[in-house]
Structure 1
Amino acid sequence: MGPEIFARIRTAIAAFCLGTLAQNAAAEPQHGIAMYGRPALPPDFVSLSYVNPEAPKGGRIVFGEPGGFDSLNPYILKGTAPWGLGLHTVETLMGRTIDEPFTLYGLLAESVETDASRSWVEFTLRPQARFSDGSPVSIEDVMWSYETLGTQGHPRYRNTWSKVAKMEQTGERSVRFTFATEDRELALLMGMRPILKKAQWEGKDFAQSSLDVPVGSGPYVVESFEPGRFITFRRNPDYWGRDLSFNRGQHNFDEIRYDYFGDGDVVFQAFTAGETMSHRETNAAKWLAQYNFAAIRSGEVVKSEIPNQRPSGITGLVMNTRNPVFADWRVREAMILAFNFEFINQTLNGGTEPRITSYFSNSVLAMDHGPAEGRVAELLAPFAADLPPGTVEGYGLPEGNADRAIDRGNLRKAIALLEEAGWTVQDGVMKNADGKPLSFEIVLASGATGTHSVVDIYVEALKNLGVEPQITMVDSAQYKERTNAYEFDMAWYTRALSLSPGNEQILYWGAKGVTEPGTRNWMGMNSPAAEAMVADMVGAESQEEFIAATRALDRILTAGRYVIPVWFSRVSRIAHSNHLHYPERIPLYGDWPGFQPEVWWFED
């Protein structure tokens, strides 16, 4: 982690102190709201800090996506909607900046107001806000959107809605939400719900997948689409918000197009053939070895590395504890021991990528790997007896051997743990006392060749334990369906995490996800300690308390041994047409939703 992140965090802490004094005064409308302290930008800001306010308008950008889509409703559990649909066509009351840990500025809303304890929040709509069909965005639309999403939408909306005690119209253009629980983050979350046009949905079942194009208020409209093949967005010349300070330097392309291909390999081939204009590469070795095609050599395509200062998040093979095999932490630890990260990283990445050592590694929120101390220890103490070994005492991932595919020392430790859990090698096969083999299924999305390469090496190592899992490859629609229903034993798992984790963590790790479909709790964890840490995080009134609660949660997740983590990158690798440009100043979160295509532009 570079010094800049510490400087920004220190600034945030200082801002909190000033902000706390300000919040003791009577509530009044503000241009923005921060989780801690005050927004960095003043009320009269000209543009966001990381955009080029003079960026030219025009041109197009074409992306390649694997898989397909069969729905144009991204707000429900059913169906698969195209990436970008909600981002480009629908807006929220407040807009998020990706240069601050968690700060919102007015978008559809001209102001936000809350009290010192954040027991309620009130938004006032801009009078000029319009949907793409020219009709005004009304409080009725806002209230209908919140209630509909909270009761019929995807599970990610329901947790927040369940904490709202009352929603009421307080003026011609104002709405207030009063909360049923103490949760300081709710004032921000209520500004981030998509606002849909109520009249469009009259007489329709919102919860059913459909190909009806949603009417939004965003900078783009859907121009054309063919399910599973492409979708094109056209910049709306009559967009109501084009002159807002928040939007200056953003939404620069006349056309944004997503073309869909069978799998990731075909996406790359389409890019090298010039059919698409930008491609993110997640494989460091491939970035070094295979980006020497003709368009690169001629300069028509350039390679850009976008640094970031956000947490690593978690990526790797998740173990579903709903399967009794993985309910025992000793079995999960054995699976981690059998994964020789150092060899896999050397083979696939040339050893260039650092390992994910915890869910918030690479950030100030990351746990220490020694014994818990201070406030972190105090938060964990009430739950210590029920936590997996290492949570309080300290836990670290095993180190393997980069020179050998099999690390014999770690395999011996794995066998010892499996024996403790009731598994022994019988006739070359790991079995329990009843003679039942230790078997499980690894579900992967077809076409993800990088993931397949990792799993292929791992499975060879598992054979040395007398374990030979079944590998099942399914298309993207089936993968979503199976993971939504938790119908897998082990699967490839990625969760991006921000510098301001909050209520969404319950959707990731909360007990409801054990049985409720469609959450992100793929591992099926049921941890009162984790839920308590999330409650402390969202209720924290100081940066120090927030950091302590997040570090405690990080310990619970990491020592829970739910995921076999792989690597992360401190940069995003984007190859793109030389006609595509981005600002010199890179935001705190780097290449994050809100960066490409929002602040990029086309220039001949």
Structure 2
Amino acid sequence: MAKGFFSIARHTCTGFLLFCIGSALSADPQQGIAMYGDPALPQDFVSLPYANPDAPKGGRIVMGEVGSFDSINPHILKGTVPWQLASLGYESLMGRSWDEPFTLYGLLAESIEVGPNREWAEFTLRPEAAFSDGSPVTIEDVMWSYTTLGTKGHPRYAGTWSMVKTMEQTGPRSVRFTFNVEDRELALIIGMRPILKKAQWEGRDFAASGIDMIPIGTSPYVIDSFEAGRYVSLKRNPDYWGRDLPFMAGQANLDEIRMEFYGDSQVMFEAFKAGQLNSLRENNAEKWDRQYNFPAVERGDVVKSVIPHQRPSGMTGFVMNTRRDVFKDWRVRDAMIHAFNFEFINETMTGGRQPRITSYFSNSVLGMDAGPATGRVAELLAPYSDQLLPGAMEGYSLPVGDGSLRNRANLHKAMDLMEQAGWRIEQGRMVSGDGRPFAFNILLPQGMTEEQSVIDLYIRALERMGITPTVTTIDPAQFQERTNQYDFDMTYYRRGLSLSPGNEQKLYWGAQGVTEPGSRNLMGMNSPAAEGLIDVLLNARDRDDFVAATKALDRVLTTGRYVIPIYQWNVSRIAHVKELKFPDRLPIYGDWSGWHPDVWWYED
């Protein structure tokens, strides 16, 4: 979208007259906005319900990450960035409460106003809003940030930007976005873009930046020091502009947030045991039960906290790239799922302690129901009945093995599916009709020792089918580049999903991602049914229709057989020193971005 496409209304009498006329037809400015209904918190709320406004300030948290990084700019496609920087280092016009499915409250903006049908959204900046260098945040900074992110930033910003018809200044501290599509979520999404300082980027190529410059934001934390690939340290800004906001009460309590990077998970675990880290998430339930009994735990110096949540399982497993001929046929993908001996792998890796993901939205009210589609879900799927894969309408569940190493029944079914797809066994090898071997590569980033072990077990089963895939392990930066370009056959995949799926679903599953690099559509799915259902959930006027559309979408995604699902994490397991505390009141999203370490504190 060209910059010249956007108009900036000048501070003239005509502009303010138009603004006043428009305001008369809209809702009054509000402190917050919810996707459905009204925000849960009153106008005079003291803090977010899961934050402790009396939490002391001070101390530090040191967390571990497996992998590396070669950039500290989380807003562009180039480079690998510590994932926490996007949320810890920057703020947006509105901030999200993780105790509601999708509700925003004013952060840099003191209010939001929307049109009768949310066809536009207008934000008014707080007069005290400032960057970490003390300079004020202006409407010019806001408009530059949206234009730059939408045209030069990471592709995740482009989708929303393409749905903005105009962006105009409507007052000394106000900006209005008018949308070119009917999409009620856009009024919320548009308020969640990071705001950067325009002056810092004059004469610089925004898309080419990496570690040569630290982008200036407005958040409570600034990058104090870092060493590419080794660590990054953020320090709390004592002059943070928003420290007295109710939304920030009980947040940003720690003086330092530090991320240390390690070559693999076992080395990271040993570093935690040695006291080099003071907080560590553990994804393996068996390891949690059997290996977290070292002296610091027994003395009570390290605490094991289990954090429940109500959010969807999302999808974790091994994704098949349908852009490659080897995985275009759904029957081949189904065969790969049948060959994956989950029950045996789960017993081997976790002692059978972790349940399997059963669908993309499992573990939540948005997950597809067992059995045939009924009611509104069936109505929404009906227009696409000739495109849907088996199971979408009549019901689908993942194959279940007998728990043994041989997994005979499922391997027999896998062989039948491969035969239906035109493959056969010849001299012990799976080949096509013209004798071409069935071959594919599994791409993994270095350091994923547990995932590598899972793949080793999987390959043993595939070998019994006459299939021997190759495994390529590369450094995280190369892995990021290759997955951005969809240069893989099969790879590790993890996609978190919220209780309020919206426009990001197009980035995850939309047809544009089949060819556009940098999307989250790693499987390369091109499904009119998925896109149509996403449109329905985006424009649902009530929660019942929204839930039905999501359940229908879950059926399309799951029966697409794009991913071999592994475990779900229906709780989070965090080991931490006893001095690190968090409130007893947990948000419905549990351990999610915006909770750890945002509302934690250090107490001697």
TM-score range, shorter chain: over 0.9
Whether the aligned pair in 1 keeps the contact of 2:252 and 2:599 (CA below 8 Å) is: yes
Q: How does 1:129-168 map to 2 (within 5 A)?
A: 129-168=129-168
Q: CA deviation at 1:209?
A: 2.7
Look up the equivalent residue of 2:342 and give its one-letter code: F
The Cα shift of 1:65 comes to: 1.5
1:312 partner letter: S
Name the CA distance, whole Å, in 1 between partners of 2:95 and 2:49: 14
Alignment of 1:395-544 (within 5 A): 395-402=396-403, 404-544=404-544
SS at match of 1:465: coil
How far is the alpha carbon of 1:154 from its aligned partner? Answer: 0.5
Q: Which moves more between the two structures, 203-212 or 572-581?
A: 203-212
Residues 442 and 472, structure 1, Cα contact 8 Å, conserved in 2 = yes
* Deviations 1:344-399, CA, capped at 9 Å, x for gaps: 11111111211111100011111112111111111111111011111111111111
| Matching residue of 2:286 | 285
Partner of 1:220 in structure 2?
221
CA offsets 1:86-144 (integer angstroms, 9 cap, x no match): 32221100000110000000000000010231100000000000111111000000000
- What is the match of residue 109 of structure 1? 109
Q: Is the 8 A contact 1:540 1:546 kept in 2?
A: yes
Deviation at 1:81, TM superposition (A): 1.8
Offset from partner CA, 1:238-268 (integer Å, 9 cap, x none): 1010000000001001111111222222211
Name the SS of the counterpart of 1:231 in structure 2: strand
Distance in 2, Cα, partners of 1:446 & 1:165: 43
1:235 equivalent in alignment to 2:233:
no
Q: Is the 8 A contact 2:70 2:477 kept in 1?
A: no
Cross-structure match for 1:253: 254
Counterparts of residues 42-441 of structure 1 (less than 5 Å): 42-211=42-211, 212-402=213-403, 404-441=404-441
* Cα distance in 2 for residues equivalent to 1:457 and 1:83: 30
1-structure distance, mates of 2:433, 2:26: 68
Q: Is the 8 A contact 1:265 1:448 kept in 2?
A: no
Amino acid paired to 1:292? N
State the distance in 2 between where 1:247 and 1:112 align: 18
Q: Hey, what's the Cα distance between the residues in 2 that align with 1:480 and 1:503? A: 23
* Cα distance in 2, alignment partners of residues 499 and 535 from structure 1: 17
Q: Secondary structure at the match of 2:177?
A: strand
**1:336 CA drift (Å):** 0.6
Give the secondary-structure state (helix, strand or coil) at the position aligned to 2:65.
strand
What secondary structure is seen at the aligned counterpart in 1 of 2:596? coil
Q: Distance in 2 between matches of 1:294 and 1:119?
A: 59
Whole-Å separation in 2 of the counterparts to 1:372 and 1:84 = 39
Counterparts of 2:570 and 2:377, CA distance in 1: 27
Counterpart residue type for residue 447 of structure 1? G
Moved more, 583-592 or 259-268: 259-268
**Structure 2 CA distance for partners of 1:24 and 1:469, relative to 1, 3 Å:** farther
Find the aligned partners of 2:547 and 2:235 in 1 and give their Cα distance. 42
Report the secondary structure of 1:354's partner residue. Answer: coil
2:137 partner letter: V
Gaps of 5+ in 2: 1-22
Separation in structure 2 between the aligned mates of residue 122 and residue 77 of structure 1, nearest angstrom: 29
Contact 2:80–2:476, Cα closer than 8 Å, also in 1: no
Letter in 1 for 2:266: D
SS in 1 for 2:48: coil
Preserved CA contact (<8 Å) 2:121 2:177? yes
- CA separation in 2, counterparts of 1:137 and 1:264? 41
The CA deviation at 1:326 is 0.5
Measure, in 1, the Cα distance between the counterparts of 2:71 and 2:334. Answer: 40
Structure 2 CA distance for partners of 1:25 and 1:346, relative to 1, 3 Å: farther
Amino acid at match of 2:293: N
- 2:26–2:114 Cα contact (<8 Å) kept: no
**TM-aligned CA deviation for residue 503 of structure 1:** 0.3
Per-residue deviation, 1:231: 1.3
Q: Give the Cα separation in 1 of the matches to 2:229 and 2:268.
A: 14
For 1:316 and 1:67, the matched residues in 2 are separated by 18
Cα drift, residue 24 of structure 1: 13
- Contact 2:120–2:179, Cα closer than 8 Å, also in 1: yes
Q: Percent identity?
A: 64
Q: Are the aligned partners of 1:360 and 1:366 in contact in 2 as well (CA < 8 Å)? A: yes
Q: In the alignment, what sits opposite 2:11?
A: none
Q: Distance in 2 between matches of 1:73 and 1:418?
A: 45
- Aligned equivalents of 2:84, 2:400: Cα separation in 1: 40
The 3-state SS of whatever aligns with 2:192 is coil
Look up the equivalent residue of 1:341 and give its one-letter code. F
Distance 2:336 2:390 in 1: 16
Which 4+ stretches in 1 moved above 6 angstroms? none
SS at match of 1:256: strand
Which 10-residue stretch deviates more, 77-86 or 555-564? 77-86
Q: Deviations over 1:560-601 (max 9, x none)?
A: 000011111221000001110000011100000011110000
The corresponding residue for 2:579 is 579
Distance across 1 between alignment mates of 2:224 and 2:26: 47
What is the TM-score normalised by the length of structure 1? 0.95
- Equivalent AA in structure 1 for residue 327 of structure 2: F
Partner of residue 17, structure 1: none
> Contact 2:278 / 2:577 at 8 angstroms: preserved in 1?
yes
Contact residue 264 and residue 448 of structure 1 kept, 8 A: yes
Task: Answer whether contact 2:67 2:446 (CA < 8 A) is retained.
Answer: no
- What is the RMSD of the two structures over their aligned residues, measured on CA atoms? 1.2
- How far apart are residue 440 of structure 1 and its match? 0.4
Within the alignment, does 1:27 sit opposite 2:27 as a pair?
Answer: yes
Cα contact 1:24–1:116 (8 A) shared by 2: no
Distance in 1 (CA, whole Å) between partners of 2:339 and 2:220 is: 50
Amino acid at match of 1:327: K
Cα separation, 2, equivalents of 1:494 and 1:123: 34
Residues of 2 paired with 1:466 and 1:365: CA distance?
39
Corresponding residue SS for 2:44 = coil
Question: Structure 1: which 5+ residue stretches go unaligned?
Answer: 1-22
Q: Tell me which moved more, 382-391 or 104-113.
A: 382-391
Q: Give 2:560's aligned amino acid.
A: G
Cα drift, residue 26 of structure 1: 4.3
For residue 342 of structure 1, report the CA deviation from its aligned partner. Answer: 1.1
Supply the distance in 1 between the matched residues of 2:376 and 2:38 (Cα, whole angstroms). Answer: 25
- For 1:189 and 1:137, the matched residues in 2 are separated by 20
TM-score normalised by L of structure 2: 0.95
Match of 1:405, SS state, is coil
Code of the residue aligned with 1:92 in structure 2: it is S
Please state whether the residue corresponding to 1:572 is helix, strand or coil: strand
8 Å CA contact 2:513–2:524 kept in 1: the answer is: yes
Q: Which amino acid aligns with 2:478?
A: Q
Counterpart-to-counterpart distance in 2, 1:127 and 1:526? 46
**For 1:350 and 1:84, how far apart are their aligned partners in 2?**
31
- How far apart, CA to CA, are the structure 1 residues paired with 2:369 and 2:257? 43
1:449-482: per-residue Cα shift (whole Å, max 9, x none)?
1111211111101111111110111111111111
